[in-house]
């Protein structure tokens, strides 16, 4: 294995795992990303062969789930108020299921080839509750309990299993977006498509970013938003500085460690919120590179740029050089 920084995973060199699925019709295999750093984001690569279903119908009270289809076509099934609807999610499409919407969901591969997709979530929700409407089961993530909650649990389970919900085929709803249908936005020579925003996500952002030859992001770090970069096509050169800080007068790299490596398709880089790990990527190749950039979407995030000493506060629309002040500085009583 080529030497990589410890916050980078090469998924092509990770083992595939086949989770147990004792019920016929369910299956698939996954590449779980190891927990390199504690972050509020979860992600894995999943393959679903033809004719199989990924998981039971379910919805989360506190966890938001996103999926980006890399290969093949998936059929999404949604349970809403006792009825099931199905629609297609092709390669290059992104789907978001925000928390608390009570829209239960699952994937089925009704095609003739294996489908591959990326699953994302803001999974660090210890108090999350997951509900399975077709059986009435409830998963309490905090105490790790799974069961049926009712006055007569066994009777409730029998009633749920006896009800066969009708299925309706429908066009893809608004929370499914095709990447090529979302307009590109240019920032410092990088062209991004805000997939999660368009799909109605609330807790997680996901951009499909295109890096033309020579494109380079600014060296930066986030205070509150975890950030992941998943290379889909091409190559990107990663440069990151561990411990890069700044003085009031400008950047300060004294004592910082510079790391560089080349990210290939399937590589994932992880930058935890608040870590002294400023980073940027450059497309040094002759063709476009494509990456899925994912992170938490917290309003209290501050983005620092060590080379210039600037700070950006996206929620306030502010950006500039920082000046430390005492709490009562420049205050006047009315």
**Tens-place pLDDT, residues 127-156:** 788 998 888 888 887 777 777 666 666 776
Q: What is the pLDDT of residues 244-257, one digit of tens each?
A: 655 444 455 667 78
Structural tokens at position 165 = 């919900």
Residues of the chain with CATH 2.60.120.10: 8-125+164-173, 177-317
| Ramachandran area for residue 180 (φ above 0: left; ψ -120 to 50: alpha; else beta) | alpha
Structural tokens at position 215 = 């494109």
Q: Residue 166 — φ and ψ, nearest 5°?
A: -65, 155
Q: Which residues contact 317 (CB under 8 A, 6 or more apart)?
A: none
* CB-facing half-sphere around the CA of 184: CA atoms within 13 A: 14
Q: What is the pLDDT of residues 32-49, one digit of tens each?
A: 887 666 678 888 999 999
pLDDT in the model for residue 333: 93
3-state secondary structure of 329: coil
Strand partners, 305: 310
pLDDT in the model for residue 249: 42
pLDDT in the model for residue 38: 66
pLDDT in the model for residue 20: 81
Q: What is the dihedral of CA 161, 20, 117, 286, to 10 degrees?
A: 180
3-state secondary structure of 220: strand
pLDDT in the model for residue 151: 61
Range from 43-52, 71-80, 118-127, 291-300 carrying the lowest mean pLDDT: 118-127
Strand partners, 145: 140
The mean pLDDT of 106-125, rounded to a whole number, is 90
pLDDT in the model for residue 248: 43
Cα 75 → chain centroid? 20
Q: What is the pTM of this model?
A: 0.89
- State in words which class domain 177-317 has: mainly beta
On the question of pLDDT at 60 being above 80, the answer is yes
Q: What is the pLDDT of residues 71-102, one digit of tens each?
A: 999 999 999 988 899 999 999 999 999 999 99
Range from 117-126, 175-184, 233-242 carrying the lowest mean pLDDT: 117-126
Euclidean distance between the first and final Cα of the chain, in Å?
Answer: 66
Q: What is the pLDDT of residues 255-286, one digit of tens each?
A: 778 899 999 999 999 998 888 889 999 999 99
Q: What share of the chain is helix, strand, coil (3-state, %, to 5)?
A: 5, 45, 45
pLDDT category of residue 124 using cuts at 50, 70 and 90: low
Spatial CA neighbour of 261 closest among 276, 278, 240: 240
Q: What is the DSSP letter of 81?
A: T
How does 69-104 read in b/e, with b if 16+ C-beta sit within 10 Å? bbebbbbbbbbeeeebbebbbebbbbbbbbbebebb
The domain defined by 8-125+164-173 folds into Jelly Rolls (2.60.120)
3-state secondary structure of 142: coil
Cα 72 → chain centroid? 20
Spatial CA neighbour of 71 closest among 42, 109, 98, 101: 109
Q: What is the pLDDT of residues 183-233, one digit of tens each?
A: 999 988 999 999 999 999 999 999 999 999 999 999 999 999 999 999 999
Residue showing tokens 């299921």: 97
Pairing between β-strand 129-132 and β-strand 137-140 as defined by DSSP bridges: antiparallel
Residue % of the chain over a pLDDT of 90: 60
* Residue 242 to residues 39, 50, 167, 256, 279, Cα–Cα distance (Å): 17, 45, 53, 5, 9
Residue showing tokens 């998963």: 139
Q: What is the DSSP letter of 26?
A: B
């Amino acid at each position: 294995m080529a030497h990589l920084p410890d916050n980078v995973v090469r998924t092509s060199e990770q083992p595939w795992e086949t989770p147990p699925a004792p019920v016929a019709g369910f299956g698939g295999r996954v590449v779980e990303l190891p927990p390199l750093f504690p972050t509020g984001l979860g992600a894995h690569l999943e393959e679903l062969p033809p004719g199989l279903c990924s998981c039971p119908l379910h919805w989360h009270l506190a966890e938001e789930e996103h999926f980006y289809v890399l290969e093949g076509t998936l059929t999404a099934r949604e349970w809403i108020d006792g009825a099931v609807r199905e629609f297609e999610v092709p390669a290059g499409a992104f789907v978001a299921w925000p928390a608390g919407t009570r829209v239960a969901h699952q994937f089925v591969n009704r095609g003739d080839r294996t489908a591959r997709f990326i699953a994302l979530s803001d999974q660090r929700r210890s108090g999350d509750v997951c509900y399975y409407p077709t059986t009435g089961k409830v998963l309490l993530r905090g105490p790790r309990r799974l069961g049926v909650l009712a006055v007569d649990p066994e009777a409730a389970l029998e009633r749920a299993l006896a009800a066969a919900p009708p299925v309706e085929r429908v066009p893809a709803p608004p929370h499914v977006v095709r990447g090529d249908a979302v307009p590109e936005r240019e920032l410092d020579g990088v062209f991004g498509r805000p997939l999660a925003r368009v799909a109605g996500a609330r807790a997680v952002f996901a951009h499909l970013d295109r890096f033309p030859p020579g494109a380079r992001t600014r060296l930066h770090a986030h205070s509150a938003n975890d950030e992941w970069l998943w290379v889909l096509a091409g190559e990107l050169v990663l440069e990151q500085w561990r411990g890069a800080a700044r003085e009031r007068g400008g950047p300060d790299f004294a004592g910082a460690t510079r790391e560089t490596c080349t990210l290939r398709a399937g590589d994932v880089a992880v930058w935890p919120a608040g870590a002294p790990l400023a980073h940027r990527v450059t497309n040094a190749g002759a063709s476009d590179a494509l990456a899925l950039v994912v992170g938490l979407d917290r309003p209290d995030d501050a983005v620092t740029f060590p080379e210039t000493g600037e700070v950006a506060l996206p929620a306030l629309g502010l950006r500039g050089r920082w000046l430390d002040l005492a709490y009562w500085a420049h205050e006047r009583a009315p």
